[in-house]
Amino acid sequence: MSKDMNRRKFFKTSAAAGAVLIAGDLLKGGSPVAYGSVKIPEAEKIIVTVITDNYFDLLRPDEKIAKRHRVPPTTSILSSGIHAEHGLAYHIETIINGKSHSCLFDFGMDSQGVMKNMGLLKIDFAKLEALALSHDHVDHQAALVEFLKSKKAEIPRGIPFYVGEQFFVGTYYKLPNGNVISLLALRREEIEELGLVKIVEIKTPTPIVPGAYLTGRIEQVTDYEKIPPVFVAKRGEQFVQEDFTGEQAIVLNAKGKGLVVLSGCAHRGIVNAVKHAQKMTGIQKVHAVMGGFHLIGAKPEIIQKTITDIKTTAPEYIVPTHCTGFEAIVAFAREMPDQFILNTAGTRYIISL
């Protein structure tokens, strides 16, 4: 079967899944997702590569499922060391029935540093099948346009680029003096003018490559995962509390192991993201929870509630990154030592049979 036929079959199946979701919404009286309505194909192998993150440690050893970037002995540390920043970017590969599929999720902030890392990590742009963004903040998408321009000849033309609802409306940050600044670094027109990607705005769980689904709108069911009031959205001429309804996480299904939940910042709550993944798939077993948990600056009691609820899902691995915050990372390491992995930029997480 040709690659085009495979892709048509993939999206035909996806459309059917979407119909189930819509029907579930109607039956549930407007509930964003119906229980067990998404059937994610099991992947015999999943590789999540953290292209950039807040922290890099040249000497950090491999551990558990984490394989660290190593500087070849024949090259300079200055040229082969990984760039770290206040940003996040992932490369995701799934292997299903022996066939590899790959996508990029988030793109970091500094285009030169991100593209340097992509080269060091040997990302194959020609094999990419999708691009996706978790949400509309500069530390996840500011590097995108320069990346697209520089790799235009390598990325498949017409590649789908997935964003959540109202992405290009943007979000804002309220300063202590009352002024607000935009956190969106992208313009839809600037992306479209490149003639490279097809922008796809989603609201419900959506497959981007076989074995990897965006969550759609994440339901907020906990009573403590609140969005800080400093994040605001513009509605007409008024600024109102941001709700991040368009923020996406990615859900994967590791064969024989359970769900892998990968977040960008989890503004709607990492516990909510995990519960949403369990509900949409009908799978309770969680293998790994990875990504930004947005607990930086959170009160100790909020961090503790988050850890307590994550513990109840019993993941094999917990990998807090980016905006999780030092205090929360230390707390996860202390309370879940057997599951905890300290992330470093350039690390590959390999989940296989």
- Residue 317 CA to residue 114 CA, distance in Å, equals 26
- Residue 103 CA to residue 94 CA, distance in Å, equals 9
**How much is the mean pLDDT over the chain?**
92
For residue 17, name the pLDDT band (cuts at 50, 70, 90). Answer: very low
Range of the domain at 340: 3-352
For residue 79, name the pLDDT band (cuts at 50, 70, 90). Answer: confident
- Name the E strands within the chain: 45-52, 66-67, 89-96, 99-107, 128-132, 159-164, 172-174, 180-182, 197-202, 206-209, 212-214, 231-235, 238-241, 250-254, 258-263, 286-292, 317-321, 348-352
Are the beta carbons of 291 and 252 closer than 8 angstroms?
Answer: no
What pLDDT sits at residue 237?
A: 87
Crossing angle between the packed helical segments 270-281 and 300-313, to the nearest 10 degrees: 20
Are the beta carbons of 238 and 124 closer than 8 angstroms?
Answer: no
What pLDDT sits at residue 165?
A: 95
Provide the number of structural domains found in the chain.
1
Mean pLDDT, range 301-311, rounded to an integer: 98
- Residue 302, classed as helix, strand or coil, is helix
Confidence (pTM): 0.91
Whether the per-residue pLDDT at 16 is higher than 50: the answer is: no
For residue 78, name the pLDDT band (cuts at 50, 70, 90). Answer: confident
Whether the per-residue pLDDT at 117 is higher than 80: the answer is: yes
What pLDDT sits at residue 2?
A: 46
Are the beta carbons of 136 and 293 closer than 8 angstroms?
Answer: no
What pLDDT sits at residue 7?
A: 52
For residue 71, name the pLDDT band (cuts at 50, 70, 90). Answer: confident
Helices (DSSP H) in 53-167: which residue ranges?
A: 77-80, 111-120, 138-141, 144-150
Q: What is the CATH number of the domain that holds 264?
A: 3.60.15.10
